[in-house]
Structure 1
Amino acid sequence: MMATVMNAIFLQASMESIGVPTRVMTAFRMAEVAEPYIRRRAVRHLEKGRVVIFGAGTGNPFFTTDTAAALRAAEINAEVVLKATNVDGVYDKDPRKNPDATLLEHVSYREVAIQRLSVMDITAITLCQENCIPVVVFNLNQSGNITKALSGQRIGTLIDNEGCDHFKIPKAQEVRKS
């Protein structure tokens, strides 16, 4: 969790160096470097036009940083979760083990869960699905991708309720007919 705080502080310094006002909020008290996470305070910072960077997960054991991101997104009514990673998006197979893996540009939460696509843990995906928060998975290491993601340009993989039925998963009513 400390690494997430260090990354948050680094991101804050980078953003503030280009004039973007930010606040870092953490699940643990670290008064010297960040504010404690309080939902109403986070929302107020956003209302004032500040970027809020969350660190230190949820402050509870057994929850991943992906789940923390999904939870915080739901709490502040975020429009999207941006998941920066070291691959170009979500693949149908592990691209490190399978050179024939295909990048999926658009998948549904359901496809992620049923196909066990290793993008986020199931709790995080479910939280996003239940709160209708799309997830954009993109490569952090590719220059310009953060800017593209923040400006809403199409990059990586979009995960939402619709998807593109890459896996031909039968709809609930089709399963009942069978």
Structure 2
Amino acid sequence: MTRPHFDRILLKLSGEVLMGKGEFGIDPDMVGRMAQEIADAKNAGHELCIVVGGGNIFRGIAGAAKGFDRASADYMGMLATVMNALALQNALEKIGVDTRVQSAIPMASVCEPYIRRRAVRHMEKGRIVIFAAGTGNPYFTTDTAAALRAAEMGCNALFKGTSVDGVYSADPKTDPDATRYDSVTFGDVLSNNLKVMDAAAVALCRDNNIPIVVFNIREQGNMADVLGGEGTATIVKNKE
């Protein structure tokens, strides 16, 4: 299926991608590979900004389940995303890509605070902007942060890199009869509780007419194919 070409894109990376084959932490080789694929996308003419999760280091909702106060656990998870963002920035700058990290939680010693107009200006100058610390608020996921930043940056689409090659009717890892969709509407995702992003993120993209493209980022070279409108992925969009 050939998909539309999008010029300004928000890429949502899960923290788990950055740990490679490990069970915890940051794999420098995987971060380097992600950085090269992002650089290739930039060189292909895309304007890119990124939201990265923190699940490879700390996940707020999981911490809350183990006895942490939920708000405190979420703040800990936000700090984990800052670590991932700095690692990705380092890898990108090593290969000559100008990058800025903006955090929703101000920490001037290590990165810029999130300022929308400054972020837009960075993108206009050809820099990649990595948004860290989610929305800066507990009880909101980095999926919701990705949808929010995509709307604020005027992105044409939100690309979500996962460990599966699209959206399925059920979990393909546990249900061999799960069906993969090439295209699905926001309404179907919400009404059928399809596991794309959390409901707040899906609704935000629907209301701002920002398509979500779900693809397997663990497959080397797949991101370039999907960004170019080819490859295997699912596009979630409003009805024609």
- TM band (smaller chain): 0.7 to 0.9
Which one-letter code corresponds to 2:172 in the other structure?
P
Asked whether the 8 Å contact 2:222–2:231 carries over to 1, the reply is no
TM-score (norm 2): 0.64
1:122 Cα deviation (Å)? 0.9
Higher relative contact order (CA 8 A, sep 6+): 2
**What residue is the counterpart of 1:145 in the other structure?**
222
Larger Rg computed on CA atoms: 1
Which one-letter code corresponds to 1:139 in the other structure?
N
Structure 1 residues 14 and 155: alpha-carbon distance in aligned structure 2, compared to 1, 3 A threshold: farther
Between the aligned partners of 2:239 and 2:222, the Cα distance in structure 1 is 24
Secondary structure class of the residue paired with 1:43:
helix
1:99 maps to 2:180: no
1:126 maps to 2:194: no
1:60 maps to 2:132: no
% identical equivalent positions: 56
Equivalences for residues 1-178 of structure 1 within 5 A: 1-162=78-239
Which one-letter code corresponds to 1:79 in the other structure?
N
Asked whether the 8 Å contact 1:82–1:149 carries over to 2, the reply is no
**What residue is the counterpart of 2:34 in the other structure?**
none
- Provide the aligned length of Structure 1 versus Structure 2: 163
1:154 Cα deviation (Å)? 4.2
Higher mean C-alpha displacement, 137-146 vs 106-115: 137-146
Structure 1: state its 5+ residue gaps.
164-178
**What residue is the counterpart of 1:175 in the other structure?**
none
Between the aligned partners of 1:128 and 1:29, the Cα distance in structure 2 is 26
1:108 Cα deviation (Å)? 0.8
Secondary structure class of the residue paired with 2:139:
coil
Which one-letter code corresponds to 2:183 in the other structure?
H
After superposition, give the CA deviation of every residue in 1:83-128 in whole Å (9 maximum; x if it has no partner): 1112111111111220121221111111101111011111100110
**What residue is the counterpart of 1:169 in the other structure?**
none
Structure 1 residues 47 and 130: alpha-carbon distance in aligned structure 2, compared to 1, 3 A threshold: same
Between the aligned partners of 2:188 and 2:170, the Cα distance in structure 1 is 13
Structure 1 residues 150 and 54: alpha-carbon distance in aligned structure 2, compared to 1, 3 A threshold: farther
Superposed CA RMSD in Å reads 1.6
Asked whether the 8 Å contact 1:27–1:59 carries over to 2, the reply is yes
